[in-house]
Amino acid sequence: MAEGTVKWFNDQKGYGFIEQDSGEDIFVHHSAIEGTGFKSLSEGDRVSFDV
């Protein structure tokens, strides 16, 4: 499982980017966020993810 930091996430558009610890940016769509209710991320959040 990879780890990184949320670079930015637009709630209205439902997507954003995560900067991997290796430095590469990864696109993230709201449908890929696990959890219930409104799915969002905040700039600076630390996250774990599968590519």
CATH of the domain at 20: 2.40.50.140
- Per-residue pLDDT, 13: 95
Confirm whether pTM is higher than 0.95: no
Cβ partners under 8 Å of residue 25, min gap 6: 7, 17, 18, 19
Number of domains into which the chain is organized = 1
Q: What's the confidence (pLDDT) of residue 37?
A: 79
Structural domain boundaries enclosing 39: 2-49
Q: In this predicted structure, what is the pLDDT of residue 35?
A: 82
> Within 13 Å and on the Cβ side, how many CA atoms surround 44?
0
Averages of pLDDT over each 10 residues, the chain, 51 residues: 96 96 95 86 95 83
pLDDT at 48: 94
Strands (E) across the chain are located at 2-10, 15-20, 25-29, 46-49
